[in-house]
Structure 1
Amino acid sequence: MLSALAIRDVVLIDRLDLGFAPGLSVLTGETGAGKSILLDALGLALGARADSGLVRHGRDQASVTAEFDPPPGHAVDAVLAEADLDPRDGPLILRRVVTADGRSRAYVNDQPTSVTLLRRLGDALVEIQGQFDQRGLMDPSTHRETLDAFAGLAGKAAAVRAAWTAWRDARARHAEARAALDKARADEAWLRHTVEELDRLAPTEGEEQRLAETRGVLANAEAVLSAMNAAADALAGEDAGADGAVAQAQRALDRVADRAGERLAGALAALDRAAAEIQEAIAELQSAADDIEADSGRLTEIDDRLHALRDVARKHGVEPDDLPALHRATVDRLASLDAEGGGLAALAAAERRARADYLTAAEALSKGRREAAGRLDAAIAAELPPLKLEKARFETAVEPLDETRWGPDGLDAVGFRVATNPGTPPGPLSRIASGGELSRFLLALKVVLAESSTVPTLVFDEVDSGVGGAVAAAVGDRLARLAGRLQVLVVTHSPQVAAQGAHHWHVEKRTDGDSVSTTVAALDSAARREEIARMLSGAAVTAEARAAAGSLLAQSNGARAAGAGQ
């Protein structure tokens, strides 16, 4: 519920701090006193469109702060989580600042946010039913959800949303697989040509690098062989070969080894190793020379192979080393075409099953909506005669949608329609010409829908416009009934409605020199009687008016006491 409202420098309001309680709060005052300014200020905090004209003359900015105390698990918690705002651990505070140049800033629990988010939170917290307000029940997009809530169809609606998601996902998987298969079929000839080409080429891993290295050696074969021969002569030459020198050293040491004890053992072992390494090096040089001589006639062949590898790689936009992987992947794509055909059939069957499941859930929801529509129409019809709308007709239209418009909310379009005159076809709520009639229709709707409402605070702006006497009393009675379940704020000119309030605020415009300001004061029981007497008799309050006011207050107090005792 709305627990507090702080207004600073909004039009005629200089500084105002109001605290609200559960039940029915009424706001009264002379015409032009500024009651509508209060609603405009509240609307700002709820994300309504900002206007620099709302800033009090001579001030730099206006601000409105609204504090709410929604129950744990309320819809606002999900909105906060979706917006990545800190979860609340107490009141929820919405604040709006508008500067004199028309700029606007929004805050939620002192965290900067967007006006759009502020409006989403506001829609979940407060429903303002004004004569020309397009929020709440005046917004046709809310009618389907409202009917579902009235009918207790939350479980069926959730099942439809889940089935829709499953069907959508199955349809997407099927479409994606079909598109991939169609593309593969279209590319089949090219794939086969590619496989044949790569079959003939038969590339291997790392082949380009090996060929390039071999080509580099062969291109410089003469210089390489010359160096290898020089190295071989140095190792095994007849005059000064390393192997001969090592052998000579070994023989010299062998002659005295038995007389040196162990002192020459290390040197002799090292010479043995050197002799073995020299022989291995000579063998490696000989083998390499043989390879070069054997490959000396393959330079053209190697050039042709390198050119073929690089040409095919360039054609397919890959590196030569990637050709083996491309070969395997292309073979796999061809092999999978038939398998994909079988998989596509399975996906198509899964989509058909998901569609059937969605239709089963959605048709059950549609049946529940049609049945609930009749109950809602009957309940509204019972509320209309006491509100002087006995000639009016209310109708809940549940109409099937074309399949292209099916969605997570089911197969139906839901709309609330009214006909205010006999013989005329029903039309949208917004087509009711009289503001007073519209407000009373909305009141009747809210009375019937109160038990299913998730919005804890309702605001009515002059719901009693154009009526008096018994009709005004009926309006007040219904507002009081609503206030037994929800917090209700009403701006009224009717003494019968004002008398029903559990809390009464008086709005007054005061002039102090050149300054005009709007003030709001809470009325005690004596002041309430005086205010209701003024509403009954006008500027001159008579004793008879005071007595009538007392009677109205006594009746409403008695009714509230009886209601509390039930």
Structure 2
Amino acid sequence: MLAHITIQNFAIVKALELDFHSGMTTITGETGAGKSIAIDALGLCLGDRADASMVRPGEDKAEIVTLFHLQNNPAARRWLEDNELTDGDECILRRVITKEGRSRAFINGSPVPASQQKSLGQHLINIHGQHAHQLLMRNDYQLTLLDQYAGHQHLLVTMRQRYQEWRAKRNELKQLEKNKEAFEAQKQLLEYQVSELNELALGETEYPELEEEHKRLSNCGDIAICSQSVIQALSEDEDNNALSLLQYAQQKLAELTTMDSQFTPLMQMLDEACIQVQETSHEITSYMDRLDMDPARLNYLDDRMATIMRLSRKHQVLPEALYDAHQALISELDSLNDSDNHIEQLTQDVELKHQACLASAEKLSKSRKRYAKELDKLISASMHELSMQHGKFHIALNSQPESHLSPMGVDSIEFLVSTNPGQPMQALGKVASGGELSRISLAIQVITAQKVDTPSLIFDEVDVGISGPTAAIVGKLLRRLGESTQVMCVTHLPQVAGCGHQQMFVTKTSEKGTTSTNMILLDISARVHELARLLGGSEITEHTLANAKELLVAA
């Protein structure tokens, strides 16, 4: 519950400190005194938008600090723990606005974005404004009220998740189908290119091997001549060849070893040299025997290499890279072929996600219908209490699975009322007068508020358009709500103000060209005088004082 608020230099408030209590607290004051000022300041600590106009003229900054007790608020405690901002059983919210319009927000002393204050605020206070009956005309707000009363948050979360999953898959499928025409054109080109390269059937290392063979066959004559010259020089020249010279040297070295043993190791070296010359001559002779001067083979190589060169230019790669380019095109074509299979699989996934969506929507619809019937009875009964004896209230729910699927399910909603005997049920805004609309709105807010988890409720002049005996009933409804929940009510009605467990009075004073607003907690005597003022205006008589006392006694 809200325990304390400190306000400094906010709007027309110079400095204000207020303690709040459990039960129902009513806030009254003269018109224009700023009865809603504390609520506006509180809104800033709950993440409302801030601007420079909120800073009191002549001051550098405005500051609002609120203290909440969390003993009976597990949702807020859990939020603080999840965000690592917990500080025992208390929560302090602070907001600072500079005259330049800059804003800073704090939770338990830690700086946070205002959006985090707003997120936490949903677990601390629920504010019902004086224009709530205007929101009541909107179907989306009507659905929100029903869902709040039903308390099926888990169904809403599941519905939203499944809808998002279905929509994501559906969008992916649409994008694939949209690109399919372009893919088909690309696929046809790839099929032609792959077919052409498949016909070539180039091996991974074929081109370098072809180059080597082509070079050999092209120079076959020169190779034969040079090879023969080498053989002659090594071993076959009759007059002079390397082998005969080495053999002669062997003979002479053998003579030297007989004269000096130091020449013996050199004999082995010459022996090896002779063997190397003989083997080299033998290998070249063998090569020449295998050398095939085949013109037909050379023509084949010319044609093969020309085809490879032509296709490599076509694909803008080097001939050595044509094999890899071929493999890349095959892979790309396989990927496009897989996209057809992917579309088929994705179509099945979309349908499965859609069915899961509809299943969640059906559960949500059943829950809404159940609680809608419950609300029909409660609000109709409350209308009777609020001097609409023949009033009837009905929530019309229409499920449209095929045309109305959204993150909120498949239901369209409309609040229907009948305020007079024999009058058919019609849309709320078409039937109810201004006063009736205010009463119906208040009945709905009070009833739905009992199901909301937040431990503090603020009603800001929601009793506009209500007077007389109905106002007394409104006061009793709010007091009854205050027995289990902290309720704060800004009001101008004495019947409502008198029902509070405690009452605060707002004053506005002007001094030396400046205006200030203040708020004080009234004791019993002061409450009687304030209720008398509300009853009789500026002139307070014994009669109005007696009436005021009766109001307090009745409350």
Distance 1:376 1:280, change over 3 A: farther
Which runs of no fewer than 5 residues in structure 2 stay unpaired? none
Shift of 1:56: 1.6
Shift of 1:396: 1.9
Distance 1:53 1:26, change over 3 A: same
Instruction: Tell me, in whole angstroms, the C-alpha distance in 1 between the residues paired with 2:32 and 2:408.
Output: 44
Distance 1:139 1:535, change over 3 A: same
Helix, strand or coil for the counterpart of 1:64? strand
Q: CA RMSD in A?
A: 5.3
Distance 1:306 1:482, change over 3 A: same
Write the mapping of 1:31-50 to structure 2, written as runs, cut at 5 A: 31-50=31-50
Instruction: Tell me, in whole angstroms, the C-alpha distance in 2 between the residues paired with 1:220 and 1:205.
Output: 26
2:57 is aligned to 57
1:197 is aligned to 196
Please point out which of 325, 328, 337 is paired with 2:327.
Answer: 325
1:385 is aligned to 384
2:456 is aligned to 457
Shift of 1:105: 5.1
Instruction: Tell me, in whole angstroms, the C-alpha distance in 1 between the residues paired with 2:196 and 2:117.
Output: 64
Between 1:318-327 and 1:248-257, the stretch displaced more is: 248-257
Helix, strand or coil for the counterpart of 1:203? coil
Shift of 1:216: 9.2
C-alpha deviations, 1:437-494, integer Å up to 9, x for none?
5543332113322342134332112233344443222111111122233322111223
Distance 1:327 1:429, change over 3 A: same
2:411 is aligned to 412
C-alpha deviations, 1:290-346, integer Å up to 9, x for none?
999979958845752541341343399x95342242354367469869xx56x8666
Query: Which residue identity lines up with residue 406 of structure 1 in the other structure?
Result: L
Contact 1:464/1:492 (8 A) holds in 2: yes
Query: Which residue identity lines up with residue 460 of structure 1 in the other structure?
Result: F
Distance 1:210 1:10, change over 3 A: farther
Query: Which residue identity lines up with residue 407 of structure 1 in the other structure?
Result: S
Scaled by the length of structure 2, the TM-score of the pair is 0.74
Contact 2:6/2:65 (8 A) holds in 1: yes
Query: Which residue identity lines up with residue 469 of structure 2 in the other structure?
Result: A
Shift of 1:6: 2.8
C-alpha deviations, 1:350-384, integer Å up to 9, x for none?
65455445434433432442343232122101112
Shift of 1:89: 1.1
Contact 2:250/2:271 (8 A) holds in 1: no
1:563 is aligned to none
Write the mapping of 1:47-446 to structure 2, written as runs, cut at 5 A: 47-68=47-68, 71-74=73-76, 77=79, 86-90=83-87, 91=90, 93-100=92-99, 102=101, 104=103, 106=105, 118-123=117-122, 125-132=124-131, 140-151=139-150, 153-154=152-153, 156-157=155-156, 160-161=159-160, 164=163, 167-168=166-167, 171=170, 189-207=188-206, 300-301=302-303, 304-314=306-316, 320-326=322-328, 328-329=330-331, 332=334, 348=347, 351-352=350-351, 354-390=353-389, 393-401=392-400, 403-417=402-416, 423=423, 426-427=426-427, 434=434, 437-446=436-445
Instruction: Tell me, in whole angstroms, the C-alpha distance in 2 between the residues paired with 1:188 and 1:425.
Output: 62
Shift of 1:508: 1.4
Contact 1:236/1:244 (8 A) holds in 2: no
Which runs of no fewer than 5 residues in structure 1 stay unpaired? 557-566
Contact 2:253/2:267 (8 A) holds in 1: no
Instruction: Tell me, in whole angstroms, the C-alpha distance in 1 between the residues paired with 2:289 and 2:106.
Output: 85
Shift of 1:506: 2.0
| Pairs aligned (count) | 544
Between 1:210-219 and 1:54-63, the stretch displaced more is: 210-219
Contact 1:450/1:486 (8 A) holds in 2: no
Instruction: Tell me, in whole angstroms, the C-alpha distance in 2 between the residues paired with 1:284 and 1:18.
Output: 111
Distance 1:196 1:474, change over 3 A: same
Instruction: Tell me, in whole angstroms, the C-alpha distance in 2 between the residues paired with 1:279 and 1:19.
Output: 116
1:21 is aligned to 21
1:564 is aligned to none
Query: Which residue identity lines up with residue 486 of structure 1 in the other structure?
Result: T
Distance 1:260 1:513, change over 3 A: farther
Asked if 1:522 corresponds to 2:521, the answer is yes
2:10 is aligned to 10
C-alpha deviations, 1:162-213, integer Å up to 9, x for none?
6545655665676677678776666664444233211112133355566678
Distance 1:30 1:254, change over 3 A: farther
Scaled by the length of structure 1, the TM-score of the pair is 0.73
Query: Which residue identity lines up with residue 371 of structure 2 in the other structure?
Result: A
Give aligned-pair identity as a percent. 32
Helix, strand or coil for the counterpart of 2:508? strand
Query: Which residue identity lines up with residue 40 of structure 1 in the other structure?
Result: D
Distance 1:29 1:219, change over 3 A: farther
Contact 1:380/1:445 (8 A) holds in 2: yes
Contact 2:79/2:120 (8 A) holds in 1: no
